[in-house]
Amino acid sequence: MAVQKLQGKRAIVTGGATGIGYGIAQRFIAEGAVVIISDIDQPGGIAAAQKLGPNCEFVQQDVSLPADWEHLFAVADERFSGLDIMVNVAGVTLMGTIEDMDVETWDKTMGINLRSCFLGCQGAIKLMKADGGGAIINMASVSSFKAQPELVAYNASKAGVDMMTKSVALHCARSGYGINVNSINPGVIQTDMLKKVISQVEDGEALMDSYKAMHPIGRIGEPEDVAAMAVYLASEEASFITGSAFTVDGALGLN
């Protein structure tokens, strides 16, 4: 029987009702972890936790709100008496160029994609440093370094996640907390978020075909592709890795 890489670990995964978040939670549990998933979608989150089984619990959360983060960490502290793994997945892709995007859409993107990672890191560090360390994984994107004109807010938010991750990693390393902080840059992944992106344009089928063509490997990604990297970064095998960005994109970033 294969050794479980996360045996006994305590984890939070945001955006866990569907997509990448659900895939990561599923894989973490298979590797021996207990997981709290959070999501703004209460019915979806409850259903996901039921599917994931007794080692998963759901907490409803708007990741842009500090009060919701305080509640989530309070639940984790009560249930787990600490935290080993924090995975900031929850995000949104709202399309628009610099000329047609309004301030409300910009602010919503920053709140969900970037502020959430700031608040997630801040709260996780508080729990982890008092308990011997841990691992924080922030979900950035190929869009953190590959610009597209119609993704002005998304590009900016994910670039922010990338650089913030490095800053947080350096702080934790120099402080001797034993907390490793890394990010993952997925390519286009088959998720509900992708479906929402496709729904924002007139010819969604053409957009999907273009996304597939952008990946030299010949396909878009699946949540399991990203989950495999998350397991590695959360495990003891990655104990010497911090402040790095890991691209999981089928060579999209090179195309």
Domain-by-domain residue ranges, the chain?
10-250
248/251 Cα distance (integer angstroms): 8
Query: Is 177 considered catalytic here?
Result: no
Query: Domain 10-250 maps to which CATH number in 3.40.50.300, 3.40.50.720, 3.90.1300.10, 3.90.1200.10?
Result: 3.40.50.720
Residue 212 has a pLDDT of: 83
Residues, the chain: 255
For residue 250, name the pLDDT band (cuts at 50, 70, 90). Answer: very high
Residue 50 has a pLDDT of: 98
What whole-number percentage of the chain has pLDDT above 70? 100
Catalytic residue among 154, 177, 211, 232: 154
Residue 57 has a pLDDT of: 98
pLDDT in tens, 62-109: 999 999 999 999 999 999 999 999 999 999 999 999 999 999 999 999
Q: Which two tokens stand for residue 179?
A: 């907390």
Beta strands in the chain (DSSP E): 10-14, 34-39, 56-60, 85-88, 134-139, 179-186, 245-248
Residue 62 has a pLDDT of: 98
Q: Is the pLDDT of residue 22 over 90?
A: yes
Q: Is the pLDDT of residue 178 over 70?
A: yes
Q: Which two tokens stand for residue 4?
A: 């479980």
- Show Cβ contacts of residue 83 under 8 Å, excluding neighbours closer than 6 positions: 10, 11, 12, 73, 76, 77, 124, 127, 128, 131, 134
| Mean pLDDT (whole number) for 165-179 | 98
Planar angle of CA 133, 135, 20, nearest 5 degrees = 155
- Mean pLDDT over each residue of the chain, to the nearest integer: 95
Q: Which amino acid is it at 162?
A: D
Q: Is the pLDDT of residue 205 over 80?
A: no
Asked if residues 184 and 140 have their Cβ atoms less than 8 Å apart, the reply is yes
Residue 1 has a pLDDT of: 55
